[in-house]
């Protein structure tokens, strides 16, 4: 089964809009794809919901609980220093390695410009959905 590690921006998008992030989350919910994230990402998600969407603690907890029920939460054992422009993006790489993910799903430009880290492809949700539908790596833009 395809394994994907979700970045904070994907969790936020899946929470508030019915676009590609939400569709990808539905595939995870229906056990078509295995979804992963980490406590670092969930903490960043919590901060974004409070800061950018002014949600109270209870509302934030409800949303996090929904993700915890569906996603596998990994605890990275390695610390990386790959992305110099935004060192917090390294937490995504660390989590994806721990999850042994096939894809990092993100809209973050620092991650997307890598395109791949080790054997893990990095792509926005639209491309991961397309890949999953065709099961062909040629659909992921180089």
pLDDT at position 135 is 67
What is the C-alpha separation between 106 and 116, in angstroms, rounded? 12
- Collect the ranges in the chain with pLDDT lower than 50: 136-142
pLDDT at position 137 is 44
The radius of gyration of the chain from alpha carbons, rounded to an integer in Å, stands at 14
How do residues 18-35 score in pLDDT, each as one tens digit? 999 999 999 999 999 999
Q: Nearest Cα to 41, choosing from 78, 69, 70, 67? A: 67
Q: Going from the N-terminus, what domains does the chain have, and what CATH number goes with each?
A: 3-139 (3.40.50.1010)
């Amino acid at each position: 089964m395809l394994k994907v590690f979700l970045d904070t921006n994907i969790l936020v998008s899946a929470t508030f809009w019915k676009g590609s992030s939400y569709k990808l989350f539905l595939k995870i919910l229906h056990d078509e794809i295995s979804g992963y994230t980490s406590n670092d990402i969930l903490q960043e998600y919590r901060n974004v919901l409070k800061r950018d969407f002014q949600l109270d603690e209870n509302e934030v907890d409800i949303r996090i609980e929904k993700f915890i029920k569906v996603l596998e939460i990994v605890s990275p054992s390695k610390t990386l220093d790959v992305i110099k422009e935004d060192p917090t993006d390294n937490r995504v790489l660390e989590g994806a390695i721990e999850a042994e993910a096939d894809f990092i799903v993100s809209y973050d430009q620092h991650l997307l410009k890598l395109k791949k880290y080790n054997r893990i492809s990095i792509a926005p949700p639209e491309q991961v959905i397309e890949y999953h539908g065709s099961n062909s790596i040629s659909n992921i833009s180089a």
